[in-house]
Amino acid sequence: MIILPDGYGFSFIGTQKNNIMITEKEIYEKYPNIFCDKDKPMTETCMCWGLEVPQSWLPIIDELCDAMTNCRYVVCVPEFKEIIKFPQVVAEQVKQKYNSLRFYYRLEYEQENVPDKVVNQHYRYIDGMIAYAENRVYRLEKGI
């Protein structure tokens, strides 16, 4: 397997516009593919409850979603005979638990039969982004 980074990782910098916080509605409008399940019934998704986090965390959620949307992590697997595009991240639940961020998701691929080792790499990559966002929330809550 060959990993071809097309751009490096992600960075989180301030997303407040003129000290105005972003709203939940604006996040949904900005990232419709990530939050495509928000209008489904509770029998199908936990996103029906919305973003269950404090308003002060929304800029961090915005930055996380921006990083997930603009990911350029590309994998070439010789036996697959094509470049595997990064999948769409779909939020399944976003909430506060024990005063920390929980962002549950699934990956949706355009291609079929993506090798498990590639899927696992993509999950680890997104998990790293989420871990960074969790640390940002921790620092925000501690005033660091």
pLDDT band at 15 (very low <50, low <70, confident <90, very high): very low
User: Is pLDDT above 80 for 14?
Assistant: no
Q: Collapsing DSSP states into helix, strand and coil, what is residue 76?
A: strand
At residue 95, the pLDDT reads 96
pTM: 0.81
pLDDT at 20 over 70: no
**Residues 101 and 137 sit within 8 Å (Cβ to Cβ):** yes
Selected residue with higher pLDDT from 94 and 111: 94
Task: With cut-offs at 50, 70 and 90, classify the pLDDT of residue 55.
Answer: very high
- Does the CA dihedral 65-71-73-74 come out positive or negative? positive
**Which tokens is 11 given?**
């960075």
